[in-house]
Amino acid sequence: MKPTLRAKLDVMVARLEELNRLLASPEATRDMERFRSLSREHAELTTVVGLFGRWREAEGDAEAAQELALGEELKAARASMESLEAELQKALLPRDPNDERNLFIEIRAGTGGDESALFAGDLARMYTRYAERQRWQVEIISESPSELGGYKEFVARIVGQGAYSKLKFESGGHRVQRVPETEAQGRIHTSACTVAVLPEADPVHEVALNPAELRVDTYRASGAGGQHVNKTESAIRVTHLPTGIVVECQDSRSQHKNREKALGVLAARIRDKQLREQQAKTASTRKSLIGSGDRSERIRTYNFPQGRVTDHRINLTLYKIDRIMDGELDELIGALSAEHQTEQLSALVEEAA
C-alpha cells in the first residue's frame, strides 16, 4: 500500500475514535442537526476503518509467515492484502452528496419539429417506465403537449431511494434517427431532445429564495380540465429576477400546491446553476465521464431502423432499442456508473502516486 494512502487511512482511524467520543457524550443530542451529521460520518468511516483493520491483520499474517518461511501462508496473506486494498480504494472514492436525493427531470424538444416533440414523449415514457420498474414515484410538474402528440416540454419529479445516483448521467443531448409517421417517402430523419436531471434541493437550507427576488404570476391553465380551467387562475409562473430562471406549474387545481411545486423546481435549477458555476471554476484537466455538462452535448443516439442505442461517452452500442424505450435502462446505467468509478479510481491512484 502506498504511504500516502496509508497515512490517509490512519487519519480516518483517529477521526472515528474522535467520533465515538463525541457521539457517546451526554451533550451529543442537544443539537440534533449536528448529531445526524456526525452519525452519517461515523457510518461512512466505520466501513472504511473496518476494511483497513482487516488489511492490517493480513499484513501481520504476511510478516509472520515471511519470518517463519511459510510460503503458502505468505502467498495467501498477500492475496488477501491485495483484495482488501482494492476494496479500500473503492470505499475511499468520493461520494456524490446528491446520490440519495429525489430529482427533477426536464425533457425539451429540440431540432426536428413535430418529430422531436414525439421523441420527447418517447423519452418521457422511457424514464417513467424505468421509474416504475424501480418502484419510484413520478409526479408530473408541467407538460406542454405538441399538436401531433409528444411534448414540447415535460418536467417531472421522481421520488425514490438513490434516484439521482441512477439517472444523473442522463443529462445531455439525445438524438433519434427514424422514419417519421408523417414521412410519405420513407426517408430517415434525425431530430434531438435535451434532457436535464437536477437533484432536488432543500429550499430552506441550501437555496435561499428571497421573496423580494421572485415575481409570481397566476394564469389560467391550458389543456384538459373543462370549465374549471376557464374560471380559475390556478397555474403559477415564478420568475427568479437575479438569474432570469422561469418555472411554470399547472399540474394541480390548487394554486398553493402549484406554487409549492414551482418553488421546488426553481430551487433545484438555482442550485444546479450554482454547482455548474463552481465546477467550471475548479474544473480539473481530466475530462469528466459525462462530458462538459453542456446540455446541448450529444450523449446518445437512438437509431430505430437498425434497432440500436449508442452511448457516445463510453462507446457502448446495444441492439435492444424496443426494450430500452420500454424503460429497461439497467445495462446502460450500470455501464455508465462502472466507467465513472474507473475514472475515479484512476484519479485516486494518481493522487496517491
Which is more confident, 100 or 333? 333
pLDDT of residue 125: 97
d(CA 237, CA 18): 49
The parent domain of residue 223 ranges over 211-278
- Same domain for 122 and 48: no
Contacts of 347 (CB under 8 A, 6+ apart): 284, 286
- Same domain for 253 and 122: no
CATH number assigned to the domain comprising residue 56 = 1.20.58.410
- Using 50, 70 and 90 to split pLDDT, how confident is the model at 37? confident
CA 171 vs CA 33, 111, 168, 195, 287: distances in Å: 32, 17, 7, 5, 16
**Cβ(312)–Cβ(339) below 8 Å:** no
Ranking 30-44, 107-121, 269-283, 300-314 by mean pLDDT, the lowest is 269-283
Q: Which residues does residue 301 pair with via DSSP β-bridges, in sequence order?
A: 175, 310
Q: Would you mind telling me the total number of residues written for the chain in this entry?
A: 353
pLDDT of residue 151: 94
Ranking 39-48, 179-188, 307-316 by mean pLDDT, the lowest is 179-188
CA 311 vs CA 226, 269, 308, 320: distances in Å: 43, 25, 10, 13
**Cβ(262)–Cβ(236) below 8 Å:** yes
- Same domain for 123 and 88: no
- Same domain for 86 and 15: yes
- 264, part of any domain: yes
pLDDT of residue 90: 80
pLDDT of residue 129: 97
pLDDT of residue 293: 37
d(CA 216, CA 210): 12
Last residue of a domain, one of 92, 113, 145: 92
**Cβ(203)–Cβ(261) below 8 Å:** no
pLDDT of residue 176: 93
pLDDT of residue 92: 82
CATH number assigned to the domain comprising residue 332 = 3.30.70.1660
> Which tens digit of pLDDT belongs to each residue from 120-154?
999 999 999 999 999 999 999 888 998 888 999 99
The share of the chain scoring above pLDDT 90, in percent, equals 45
- Same domain for 326 and 192: yes
Cα–Cα nearest to 304, from 170, 183, 161, 153: 183
- 284, part of any domain: no
The share of the chain scoring above pLDDT 70, in percent, equals 87
> Which tens digit of pLDDT belongs to each residue from 234-270?
888 999 998 889 998 887 788 888 888 888 888 888 8
- What's the total number of domains in the chain? 3
Q: Judge whether residue 14 has pLDDT over 90.
A: yes
Q: Judge whether residue 162 has pLDDT over 80.
A: yes
Last residue of a domain, one of 258, 278, 298: 278
* Confidence (pTM): 0.66
- Same domain for 195 and 118: yes
Quick one: CA torsion of 223, 225, 228, 231, rounded to 10 degrees? 10
- 348, part of any domain: no
Place of cell 468509478: 341
- Same domain for 319 and 257: no
- Same domain for 179 and 239: no
Q: Judge whether residue 190 has pLDDT over 80.
A: yes
- 32, part of any domain: yes
- Using 50, 70 and 90 to split pLDDT, how confident is the model at 222? low
- Same domain for 180 and 321: yes
- Same domain for 186 and 135: yes
d(CA 303, CA 72): 55
Judging by beta carbons within 10 Å of its beta carbon (0-12, 13-18, 19+), is residue 245 exposed, middle or buried? middle
> Which tens digit of pLDDT belongs to each residue from 267-298?
888 888 877 776 665 444 334 433 443 444 68
- 310, part of any domain: yes
Q: Judge whether residue 86 has pLDDT over 80.
A: yes
Averaged confidence pLDDT in the chain: 84
- Same domain for 67 and 114: no
- 127, part of any domain: yes
- 58, part of any domain: yes
- 224, part of any domain: yes
pLDDT of residue 202: 64
Q: Which H, E and C letters describe the chain, residue by residue?
A: CCHHHHHHHHHHHHHHHHHHHHHHCCCCCCCHHHHHHHHHHHHHHHHHHHHHHHHHHHHHHHHHHHHCCCHHHHHHHHHHHHHHHHHHHHHCCCCCCCCCCCEEEEEEECCCHHHHHHHHHHHHHHHHHHHHHCCCEEEEEEEEECCCCCEEEEEEEEECCCHHHHHHHHCEEEEEEECCCCCCCCCCEEEEEEEEEEECCCCCCCCCCCHHHEEEEEECCCCCCHHHHHHCCCEEEEEECCCCEEEEECCCCCHHHHHHHHHHHHHHHHHHHHHHHHHHHCCCCCCCCCCCCCCCCEEEEEECCCCEEEECCCCEEECCHHHHHCCCCHHHHHHHHHHHHHHHHHHHHHHHC
